Chains A and B, each alone.
Chain A
Amino acid sequence: METRTVRVVVNGIAYERQVEPRRMLGDFLRHDLNLTGTHYGCEHGVCGACTVLLEGRTARACLTLAAQVDNHVLTTVEGLAHADGTLNELQKAFGECHALQCGFCTPGMLMTLTELLSETDSPDEAEIREAITGNLCRCTGYQPIVAAALLAAQRIRESRTGSPAPTAEATE
């Protein structure tokens, strides 16, 4: 089986691999790049666990071929924390609000909410609930996830308006 070359930047790091045409992006990330943060829940696009950011927009890694991300830029959950390993505002809020229990849906939730926060800095509850309709969670009942998103959005806004805290990492 003929393989294809994929050159892709993931979380700021450039990778080059040979893949079979039928290699799915999720498997590519998990097995070829050892980035196991992206999870597979259903492999047909409905659960959202495999959600990643492709050119800044959410996409299902289970419905994308690895070959399709050649010459593209991806962000996965591993790319959210700061370079020194400290969690970003959204991740911290998740921890504080108990927005994860088993953690299986969490990477997908984080990527989806990261996209939302990049589009609007003050989402209301309805917008947050709308945004996560494509991410299923069996543990939390969604309430703490919504709370975490509201909290993170608030903190990010506050850190932007006049506070001395560095804002560069705000939404990463």
Chain B
Amino acid sequence: MKPSEFEYHAPTTIEEAAHLLGTLEDAKLLAGGQSLMPMMNFRYLMSSHLIDLNGVDALTAIDEKNGRLHIGAMARQRDIELAPLVRQRAPLIPEAYKLVSHKQIRNRGTLGGSLCQLDPSSEQPCFTAALDGVLTIARYGDGALQLRELPMADWALMYMTPALEEGELLVNVSLEIWPQGHGYAFEEFARRHGDYAIVGVAALCTADAQDRLERVSVTVCGVAPGPVRLYEVEAALRGRPMNQDSLRLAGDAARELDVMTDAHVSNDYRQHLAGVLTERALQTAFSRVAR
């Protein structure tokens, strides 16, 4: 129950971290450590080098730029949860964090780490997709830091495999800021409080003066390798009132999703949950729209 031997590196700048990652053979990044260290303790994962990002302050910023919320990859989940800026601009996020593990884990865990771990049942990739996240990825090349951006929709290549090439690290996530007073909800079903979601749904919406749905965002997690945005449902709901028919439309679409099966639950049950939680999330989000 102890990790195997490794060399430890503690860079203080993004360049240094990227350079190490690009040059060391068999190296892993240490972010919050809440997913990595259990695997290393079990010797499920053995790495020759660990590059500790906890000293790279430049990766911890939470701010607003050009109308988007920017969160550094090493921002602590607990800090994001409590940040006034986040509560004002993206109330979906603290709502989701209530369901993420336990405080002790959120104190150390990072949003970037969660996005890179990309557990299908994780809430954080889900809200990142719901908010049309854009990821900034860095690598060290040609003597300098090279950056590229990737929309969240393209992040999940496969189970627990994000679209990061060798030598790349995630540095920032930017999220869309919805209009003040928008409705939001995160509904989840898990066996125990703090567990990963069996299925989770993030919903956002705005309504017009006649109380019809305008813009809608619905994202389901726990059903596929990455969070699934129900784009067609979103388009279909525009202009509709929030009534049983609208809910059924959304719920049925969620129930039709091709879902994964595992040791915990069957496909059928997952699909059922997806339907129920989608309806609940939409209802709750709609009820929260400022009127």
Over the window 64-96 of chain A, the binary record of Cβ atoms lying under 8 Å from chain B Cβ atoms (1 yes, 0 no) is: 110110000000000000000000000000000
Tell me which of A22, A51, A54, A58 contacts B6 (CB under 8 A): A22
Q: B2 contacts A22, CB within 8 Å?
A: yes
Give the contacts of A1-15 with B (CB-CB under 8 A): 1-2, 4
Which B residues are CB-close (under 8 A) to A35? none
Q: A4 contacts B34, CB within 8 Å?
A: no
Q: Would A63 and B37 be within 8 Å (CB), given that A51-B104, A134-B194 are in contact?
A: yes
Over the window 185-224 of chain B, the binary record of Cβ atoms lying under 8 Å from chain A Cβ atoms (1 yes, 0 no) is: 0000000111000000000000000000000000000000
Chain B: residues with Cβ within 8 Å of the partner, total of 30
Which A residues are CB-close (under 8 A) to B37? 24, 44-45, 62-65
Over the window 122-150 of chain A, the binary record of Cβ atoms lying under 8 Å from chain B Cβ atoms (1 yes, 0 no) is: 00000000110110000000000000000
Which B residues are CB-close (under 8 A) to A48? 102, 104
Q: A68 contacts B41, CB within 8 Å?
A: no
Tell me which of B1, B7, B102, B194 contacts A21 (CB under 8 A): B7
- A115 close to B (CB within 8 Å): yes
Q: B50 contacts A63, CB within 8 Å?
A: no
Q: A45 contacts B105, CB within 8 Å?
A: yes
Which A residues are CB-close (under 8 A) to B229? none
Question: When chains A and B are docked, how far (Å) is the Cα of A130 from the Cα of B97?
Answer: 13
Q: B33 contacts A22, CB within 8 Å?
A: no
Q: B8 contacts A65, CB within 8 Å?
A: yes
Q: A21 contacts B6, CB within 8 Å?
A: yes
Q: A45 contacts B5, CB within 8 Å?
A: no
Question: When chains A and B are docked, how far (Å) is the Cα of A82 from the Cα of B38?
Answer: 34
A-B contact count (CB 8 A): 86
Q: Using C-beta atoms within 8 Å of the partner chain, give the interface range for chain A.
A: 20 to 34
Give the contacts of B38-81 with A (CB-CB under 8 A): 38, 41-42, 50, 52, 54, 78
Question: When chains A and B are docked, how far (Å) is the Cα of A50 from the Cα of B179?
Answer: 43
CB of A41, distance to nearest CB on chain B (Å): 11
Q: B102 contacts A43, CB within 8 Å?
A: no
- A57 close to B (CB within 8 Å): yes
CB of B277, distance to nearest CB on chain A (Å): 21
Q: A57 contacts B78, CB within 8 Å?
A: yes
Q: B5 contacts A1, CB within 8 Å?
A: yes
Which A residues are CB-close (under 8 A) to B181? none
Tell me which of B2, B8, B10, B33 contacts A63 (CB under 8 A): B33
Question: When chains A and B are docked, how far (Å) is the Cα of A112 from the Cα of B78?
Answer: 15
Question: When chains A and B are docked, how far (Å) is the Cα of A134 from the Cα of B194?
Answer: 8
Which B residues are CB-close (under 8 A) to A2? 7
Q: B107 contacts A58, CB within 8 Å?
A: yes
Q: Would A22 and B34 be within 8 Å (CB), given that A58-B104, A133-B194, A134-B194 are in contact?
A: no
Which B residues are CB-close (under 8 A) to A65? 8, 30, 33, 37, 50, 52
Q: B105 contacts A133, CB within 8 Å?
A: no
Q: Which 3 A-B pairs have the closest CB atoms?
A: A134-B102, A21-B8, A44-B38
Selected A-B contacts with CB under 8 Å, 20 pairs: A20-B5, A21-B6, A22-B5, A22-B8, A24-B2, A43-B1, A43-B38, A45-B37, A45-B38, A45-B105, A48-B102, A57-B107, A58-B107, A60-B104, A60-B108, A63-B33, A63-B37, A64-B108, A115-B103, A134-B194
Name A's B-contacting residues (CB within 8 A): 1-2, 4, 20-22, 24, 27, 43-45, 48, 51, 54, 57-60, 62-65, 67-68, 112, 115, 130-131, 133-134
Name B's A-contacting residues (CB within 8 A): 1-8, 10, 30, 33-34, 37-38, 41-42, 50, 52, 54, 78, 101-105, 107-108, 192-194
